[in-house]
A and B are shown apart, each in its own frame.
Chain A
Amino acid sequence: MNIMTEAGVEQKLSSGTNAPSIKMKGEKVSVHYGEKRALFDVDLDVREHQVTALIGPSGCGKSTFLRCLNRMNDTIDIARVSGKITLDDEDVYDPKIDVVELRARVGMVFQKPNPFPKSIYENVAYGPRIHGLARSKAELDGIVESSLKKAGLFNEVKDRLLESGTGLSGGQQQRLCIARAIAVSPEVILMDEPCSALDPIATARVEELIDELRQNYTIVIVTHSMQQAARVSQRTAMFHLGYLVEEGATDKMFTNPDDKRTQDYITGRFG
């Protein structure tokens, strides 16, 4: 894993005295799906070792923005991204950037748990293996174990690592997906509504996990649940109809938002 250079990182949007440095930065990010514009000039910073929550009603562009951060939109033929997104001041859409390397650095957890239909071990080991992170079987075993531990799943599955990952419960599957993302030692983890398919208990478990992971990773999470955003995030960004409405510290957003639309949305008046 790279050691990040703190030098040269902008600190202009600092809300406190020792504000964390900016890990990813979006400037005038716009996305078109064919003729339709889904995102309008979004400027949004993601701070290191913080959880940034993206909220907003359905179709507001929050997932679209999230998928720009690791260029998952590349897989959609008709999607066109303009503007600039940087990871440690490097433009991720620079032709010189290798998208495989980018996605190793910016991992992703999806809305629906999507473990590979392989064993639990294989699910976690796949990433380190293709990136050549382990030089020996023992080292790979170590990565799998520590990833599962970090995802809080190890104790539940340690006796059945060779059983299929699809045989786990929904919440366990989602934590397996998180373990799989952690296993490649990303710097940023993107989570696209990771709890929407889970029951409240599994949700609580994943939320706890997100808070723990914040110590080591930078997290961006898209969520439909206001409570979840309030519980897990330090900063919140409100999207509406493809525009970034407002962005700020979560405390402030949920108590004293600047924009009326944010106010209405978090109080449940629309959305």
Chain B
Amino acid sequence: MTDAISSFGAVGRPVSIHTDDAAKARLKGRYRTETWFKWLGAAAVALAGLFLVLLLSTIVTQAIPALRQNYVTLPIDLSAAKVDPAKLDEVNYDAIAQEALTAKFPDVTSRQDKRLLRGLISTGTGVFLRKDIAADPGMLGGTVDYAVPLDDFADLYLKGLLADVGSDEAISTTVTPSQTSGDIDLTFGDDAMLALARGHGATEGENGMLTLTSGASSLLVAFNGGTVKLTALSPAANGTVIAKGTVIEALDSTAPAASGQAFLRVIETPEASRKISDKMIVWLDRLKSAGLIESRFNSIFFFTGASREPELAGVWGAVVGSFLTMIVTLAIAFPIGVSAAIYLEEFAPKNRLTTMIEVNINNLAAVPSIVFGLLGLAVFLNFFGMPRSAPVVGGMVLALMTLPIIIIASRASLRAVPPSIREAALGIGASKVQTVFHHVLPLAMPGIMTGTILGMAHALGETAPLLMIGMVAFIVDIPGGFTDPATILPVQIFMWADFPEAGFQQKTSAAILILLVFLVIMNAIAVILRRRFERRW
């Protein structure tokens, strides 16, 4: 105070402790801190947003290929000679489909190649065929065009995920083959191929010979209606190049292909480091150029159960399992949680015991979820002998985990109901129970619902406790009830992420996307409820 007074009396405008230079410096410092804080906050939000976008875009881009599946349309012979209408269950449908495929490639003769060729279509073909015939017996009696799902590698190749394939380029010189099949020699009119082979990882040998091993890119030359894979090149007289090659598809003739009539296709990914051989690629390209391959919405993924074959694996079993589990969780956790919250908040005396219960409920919310799984294993499975892998047990375990969340959220929203409402009801002679159930609970309900939905969303994404009670089992059938063995979405994702097949990568991302969609829907409902019933007093 004395300082303030002494600083007055200067000439002109009086200088106070709020207007002198020191004060201005202080004020500036304050603004500087505020600006800093604002920028730091904005940076933190931006960083979080960036990570979110990164995460989502990765998942979405990975998941998109899984939404479609490639089918090959084959003329399947379902005449009485192949399929006896009286004994539909004894027919080997797989063999019939495979025959239809091999018939498309008459020049594939060796057993090994035939096996490779058969591998192009899914091993589940027979199952689909049998199911469709059972649904539509009109298919029988003749040859029908039937779309067969491709095997996962073939499917992935066609989606461009297995190999880095360049486009076909015309060779600007003549190409002369020595034979039409087997291991042959090709004579190129100029030596441009040598540089090309060097550029694609060919191994240099004696006399300028270049060997294309399985560690190098594959060079395929297509002409005269066939395809030859180059294995070695060596320079010859007059600047020509003689290349050794293996015929993958037989040539029509040994006539030389004129400049621009032969095409070179480079598969950048070496054969050794991809899951699909050159032969399969050539066959698939043939099917594709014949217009037999069609990309369809992947209904298999959305509407079937689990499978070890990526092209046959679906999420529906896990979705149903999750749904059944959530029903059990909700049916147990909601009534118990809300009742406990009402009792503790409105009726329980405030003493040592209730304080201890309160503290413990709060602590329970922080218990690692796997501990609840162990509890479920020890109590529900071992002590009560309940079924393993069943949604009912999973639901009970998740209910234990969700209970503290619901209790805490419900108590908070009960506490948020202003005491004036309680007094108003008590003041006109409502009993305690009437006050709670007629006035307090309805007002707290939106908050309770929000807490419950968020708790359920939390439970929906939980994996660890369910591993302990065997919901990680490989279950092909779609669960039909609460005691059927089942798995749930996050566990399915966990299992798929663990499978080595490349086809499961996309399935994993797609399943994550489905889980995220469910979570977003649940959170949106929570937000809507909160908005809708928000009250101000």
For A117, what are the chain B residues with a Cβ–Cβ distance below 8 Å? 421, 443, 535, 537
Stretch at the interface among A11-19, A23-31, A100-108, A250-258: A100-108
- Docked Cα-Cα span, A101 to B431, in Å, equals 10
A224 within 8 A of B: no
Interface centre among A130, A180, A181, A183 (most CB of B within 10 A): A130
Name the A residues within 8 Å of B421 (CB-CB): 114, 116-117
Identify the stretch in A1-9, A49-57, A69-77 within 8 Å (CB) of chain B at 4 or more residues.
A69-77
B431-443 vs A, CB cutoff 8 Å, 1 = contact: the mask equals 1001000110001
- Check B426 against A116 for contact (C-beta < 8 Å): no
Q: How long is the Cα–Cα vector from A162 to B11 in the complex, in angstroms?
A: 70
Residue A231 is within 8 A (CB to CB) of chain B in the complex? no
Interface string of A95-130 (1 = CB under 8 A from B): 000001111100111101011110000000011001
A221-245: which residues lie under 8 A (CB-CB) from chain B? Answer: none
Tell me if A177 counts as interface (CB < 8 A to partner B). Answer: yes
A114 in contact with B428 (CB, 8 Å): no
Question: Is there a chain A Cβ closer than 8 Å to B265's Cβ?
Answer: no
Q: What residues of chain A lie closer than 8 Å to B418, measured between beta carbons?
A: 114
> Is B352 in the interface zone, CB < 8 Å from A?
no
Residues of A contacting B420 with CB < 8 Å?
110, 112, 114
Residue contact A100 to B424, C-beta cutoff 8 Å: no
The distance from the CB of A97 to the nearest CB of chain B, in whole angstroms, is 13
Whole-angstrom CA separation of A66 from B429 in the bound complex: 16
B350 and A103 contacting across the interface, CB-CB below 8 Å:
no
In whole angstroms, how far apart are the Cα atoms of A181 and B430 in the complex?
12
Q: Is A131 an interface residue (CB 8 A)?
A: yes
Contact A103–B423 (Cβ < 8 Å): no
Which chain B residue lies CB-closest to A115? B424
Contact A75 B422 (CB under 8 A): yes
**Contact A101–B424 (Cβ < 8 Å):** no
Q: Indicate whether A151 reaches chain B with its CB closer than 8 angstroms.
A: no
Is A81 an interface residue when CB atoms closer than 8 A count as contact? no
Contact B430 A114 (CB under 8 A): no
Which among A75, A77, A112, A180 is the interface contact of B428 at CB below 8 angstroms?
Answer: A180
With A and B bound together, what is the CA distance between A155 and B349 in angstroms? 45
How many angstroms between the C-alpha atoms of A35 and B26 in the bound complex? 47
> Cβ of B424 and Cβ of A184 under 8 Å apart?
no
One of A75, A101, A126, A127 near B423 (C-beta < 8 A): A75
Per-residue 0/1 for B387-426: is the Cβ within 8 Å of any A Cβ (1 yes, 0 no)?
A: 0000000000000000000000000000000101111111
User: Smallest CB–CB gap between B207 and chain A, Å?
Assistant: 96
Interchain CA distance A131-B418 in the complex, whole Å? 24
Q: A77-B349, A112-B420 are in contact. Are A107 and B428 (CB under 8 A)?
A: yes
Task: Report Cα–Cα, A181/B426, bound state, in Å.
Answer: 11
| Beta-carbon nearest neighbor of B536 in chain A | A166
B428 → chain A, closest Cβ, in Å?
A: 4
Cβ of B427: which chain A residues have Cβ within 8 Å of it?
70, 72, 103, 107-110, 181
Q: Tell me the smallest distance from the CB of A249 to a CB of chain B, in Å.
A: 29
For A143-183 the 0/1 string (1 means CB < 8 A from B) is 00000000000000000000000100000000001001101
A130 touches B349 (CB 8 A): no
Q: What are the residues of chain A within 8 A of B537 when measuring CB–CB?
A: 117, 166
- B429 in contact with A127 (CB, 8 Å): yes
Complexed CA–CA distance, A130 and B430 (Å): 7
In the bound complex, CA of A116 to CA of B350 (Å):
27
Which of B424, B430, B535 is most buried by chain A, counting CB atoms within 10 A of its CB?
A: B424
Q: Which residue of B lies closest to A117 (CB)?
A: B535
Digitize B323-363: 1 where CB-to-A-CB distance is under 8 Å, 0 elsewhere.
00000000000000000000000000110000000000000
Nearest opposing residue in chain A for B420, CB measure: A114
- Contact status A100-B429, CB under 8 Å: yes
Bound: A57/B453 CA distance, A: 49
Q: Write the nearest CB–CB distance from B170 to chain A, whole angstroms.
A: 80
Among A77, A114, A183, which residue has its beta carbon within 8 angstroms of that of B424?
A114
Q: Is the CB of A177 within 8 A of B424?
A: yes
Q: What is the chain B residue whose CB lies nearest that of A104?
A: B429
> Cβ of A184 and Cβ of B428 under 8 Å apart?
yes
- Whether B424 lies near A110 (C-beta < 8 A) is yes
CA distance A181 to B429 in the complex (A): 10
> Given the interface contacts A112-B420, A116-B424, does A100 sit within 8 Å of B431 by beta carbon?
yes
| Assembled-state Cα–Cα distance A112/B418 (Å) | 12
Q: Which residues of A contact B429 (CB under 8 A)?
A: 100-104, 107, 127, 130-131, 184
Measured in the bound complex, the distance between the Cα atoms of B420 and A177 in whole Å is 12
Contacts of A115 on B, CB cut-off 8 Å? 424
CB-contact partner of A75 in B424, B426, B431, under 8 A: B426
Once A103-B427, A126-B428, A127-B429 are accepted as A-B contacts, the answer to whether A116 and B439 lie under 8 Å apart by CB is yes
Q: Assess the A77–B423 pair: CB atoms within 8 A.
A: no
Residues of B within 8 A of A101 (CB): 429
> Could you mark each residue 177-205 of chain A with 1 if its beta carbon is under 8 Å from any beta carbon of chain B, else 0?
10011011000000000000000000000
Which residues of B line the A interface, CB within 8 A?
349-350, 418, 420-431, 434, 438-439, 443, 535, 537
Given contacts A114-B420, A130-B429, A131-B429, 8 further A-B pairs with CB under 8 A are A70-B427, A72-B427, A77-B349, A100-B430, A107-B428, A115-B424, A127-B430, A130-B428
What are 24 pairs between A and B in contact, CB < 8 Å? A70-B427, A72-B427, A75-B423, A100-B430, A100-B431, A102-B429, A103-B428, A107-B428, A108-B423, A108-B427, A110-B420, A110-B423, A112-B420, A116-B424, A126-B425, A126-B428, A127-B430, A177-B424, A180-B424, A180-B428, A181-B428, A183-B428, A184-B428, A184-B429
In order of increasing CB-CB distance, the 6 nearest A-B pairs are A104-B429, A114-B420, A108-B427, A103-B429, A127-B428, A114-B424
